[in-house]
Chain A
Amino acid sequence: MNRPNVPAADELAARLATAGYLASDATALAVFLARALNKPVLVEGPPGVGKTELAKAAATVLDLPLIRLQCYEGLDEAKALYEWKYGKQLLYVQVLKEQLGDLLRGAKGLEESVARLHRFGDIFYSEDFLEPRPLLNALRQEHGCVLLIDEIDKADAEFESFLLEILSDFQVSVPEIGTVQARSLPLVFLTSNDTRELSDALRRRCLHLHIPFPEKKLEQRIVEARVPDVPAALRGQLVDFVHALRELDLKKHPAISETIDWARALLLLHADSLDAELVSRTLNVLLKHEEDIADVRNELKALLK
């Protein structure tokens, strides 16, 4: 197995920034440790703080392909790991039926026929008929990859236990073929929105990274990087406002992506400072529940001070 060179945490942070992902120190450190220790990272945090983005950015800066497995209820091995190409197997069986006669011609007795057949035994369950799914694909990458297992909490507990072998040993058993060992260790990110408690066994095998909503300074830098045309004064104001919203008791707090959308919207409206009228009209970009919008409208005066 190849062990890649690992850039240090500071350098990773800088490189992630050039890829458009402004990472906190802890986040860069997590990527560094994951790479250096060959451990998967379990990323948790509120929706919209860039958990999935982190994996994408890491793939970009490490120059590795990104392989993504989106989890959902009922996801099973056949969709996550591998599948046999049944259609192809079936077709080959039909086509090759005639060949069988040729193959067995001249064989004396049943035993010899069977012996001849044995030589071709596992053709139909060989790599040629294997349809790799994301997990197997990730293990078979020659130069490593970033494997993103997104929203693992949506998958069933059974699937979680099935993942354990891959996460700790980077290998997996395919009954017909045997154990498939990773050619090169993938960098694994698992994300979770905490809809279900993950098992301790899974948590133990991962490094744990909690990404909270960013601090004001970081969020300002993120807005600056993503929507560079927003004037600095407005940027400060809008980030302050979003942070004030996150203090409130809302159904859904605005995430970073919503801050960015809002900044874009304000830019389109040629705004250069926030006022109650403007905020009130554009609140629906930030908040996605009618009650939240109504609540915030009532408090707008206080929030904008």
Chain B
Amino acid sequence: MAHAVLIDFIHAARGAGVRISTAETLDALRAVDLVGYGSRARLRDTLGMALAKSTGDRQLFDETFERFFTASRMAALANASPAGDDSTTDTAPPPPVEGDAGTPTGSGGGSGGSPQPTSALGQMLMQGDPAALAMAMTQAAQRANIGNIRVFTQKGLYGRRVLQEMGGEQLDLEIIRREDGDDPAGRALGDELKRRRQLLRDEIRDLIARQYLLSAAQANRELREEIIREANLATLDEFRGVEQIVRKLARKLAARHSRRRRVEQRGLLDVRRTLARNIRHDGILFEPQWRSKRIERPNVVVVCDVSNSVRAYAKFLLLFLYSLADVLPRVRAFAFSYRLGEVTGLFRDHDFSEAVGRTLALYGMGSTDYGLALEELAALCGDDIDHRTTLIFLGDARSNYSEPRADILRRLGERARQVIWLNPENAGRWGSGDSVMPRYRPYCTIAETTRTLDDLERVVERLLKRA
């Protein structure tokens, strides 16, 4: 029974977004067997250590734990036999009723005194032991598979199933029988049973509601993440939790590409390997070995247009950038609309909303001038751009009919490893109106429409592969 509850909990924690493998589930069960259910704090720490393996996961875990291990459930667990000896969780349910509840034998079995309920559930209700009841309810819930609940309209269905698993049918029959009987004591008992049945129903409803919150959350979140990833960047503001997803993307990319090894043609003498290699030649060193692997880090310069026309995009591009800068140490970020300036320091020293706020306040004013921005970029960091640098532009290349200065881009591009242009506009519109994209296009290694997070991820992935 105790293990069944833990497995339920793990289900719920997964639902809340904690990634838990089967091996970890087993670890958790073993750990809890050692620690027991005596202390709630200790149970939480034990499960947390075995199941939640990062700070973010731990937070989700703690929330789920608070919701799942309520005081009544803890009481039921503490009363249960020491964990471990009944680990057969998914076997067939025990017969819910014993004996002859189906054959009415007058009221109360003929003996004198107040009548006793005949159905098993009725007896349990009248004994009024909350721990036993909570345990029976949890077991019944397990048998009714309430972990599978997905939509809220299923709540009633699962509620009935749980009650049924607890032996509700026999209880119903008994109540009807007693209410129709002549014995006033029996009728009183019937009324009392009816009242307690209602209380039990309420409790079951709470249990189901809790379970619904736990397990349906997962399905919903996955769906939402998919939607967000495919939504147009400009509309992302309307979603909650976007930041997390963007950050996750950036982290994933950065972790995969933050460092790469390259086999070089030449390198330093590797004494160790030279000795090892030449033992076969009697120890005469005539086959020198070189250290030829070099570790390279991508060196990224990002220039982001934050003017009004692309502001909605810019915010998320900046967020993406911010998350990248968080993990890639060598990202330099610039923002411009009319003036251009470096925002690397802002991003390093402040949290995201603060950094974006300041960036927009400092550089978001005025009408865009790409030519001027390029001039200033060349002045600010032109010398630092070399064959290791990847230069990324984020913007619509709408320059308000000013001179685009594509010659500067060409010059920078010749020195950089690659130039990437991410444009929120459809390629079909490039060149229309004041768009100078066709002038820049020849000097870009890649120029792509980037409208959604998925686009963004794809392009950046490709970029880092080449870097």
Binding site for B on A (CB under 8 A): 9, 25-26, 29-30, 32-33, 36-37, 39, 41-42, 44, 73-74, 78, 83-84, 86-87, 89-90, 93-94, 97, 124, 156-157, 196-197, 200, 203-204, 206-210, 251
Can you list 14 A-B contacts with CB-CB less than 8 angstroms, sorted by A residue number? A29-B45, A30-B45, A33-B31, A33-B35, A44-B55, A73-B295, A78-B272, A86-B272, A90-B275, A90-B283, A97-B282, A157-B259, A207-B31, A207-B50
Q: Which residues of A contact B45 (CB under 8 A)?
A: 25-26, 29-30
The 8 A-B residue pairs with the shortest CB-CB distance, nearest first, are A203-B53, A86-B275, A207-B49, A26-B45, A90-B283, A208-B53, A197-B255, A93-B283
In angstroms, Cα B255 to Cα A196, docked, is 7
Interface pair B259/A204, CB less than 8 Å apart: no
Nearest-neighbour CB distance to chain A for B54, whole angstroms, equals 7
Interface pair B42/A25, CB less than 8 Å apart: yes
Q: Which residues of A contact B283 (CB under 8 A)?
A: 90, 93-94
In angstroms, Cα B295 to Cα A73, docked, is 10
User: Chain B's interface: helix, strand, loop or mixed, by majority?
Assistant: helix
Interface pair B279/A208, CB less than 8 Å apart: no
Q: Tell me, yes or no, whether B161 is within 8 Å of chain A by CB.
A: no
Chain B contacts with A in 244-273, Cβ cutoff 8 A: 251, 254-255, 258-259, 272
Binds A, one of B18-26, B144-152, B207-215: B18-26
Query: Number of contact residues on B: which range applies?
Result: 35 or more
Q: Tell me, yes or no, whether B67 is within 8 Å of chain A by CB.
A: no
Q: Which residues of B contact A44 (CB under 8 A)?
A: 55
Q: Which residues of B contact A73 (CB under 8 A)?
A: 295
Q: Which residues of B contact A204 (CB under 8 A)?
A: 21, 23-24, 53
Interface pair B41/A93, CB less than 8 Å apart: no
In angstroms, Cα B401 to Cα A39, docked, is 65
In angstroms, Cα B148 to Cα A276, docked, is 61
In angstroms, Cα B275 to Cα A78, docked, is 14
Which of A86, A87, A200, A207 interacts with B19 by CB under 8 Å?
A200
Nearest-neighbour CB distance to chain A for B247, whole angstroms, equals 11
In angstroms, Cα B276 to Cα A126, docked, is 15
Most buried by B among A42, A83, A86: A86
Q: Which residues of B contact A90 (CB under 8 A)?
A: 275, 279, 283
Chain B contacts with A in 15-56, Cβ cutoff 8 A: 19, 21, 23-24, 27, 30-31, 34-35, 41-42, 45-46, 48-50, 52-55
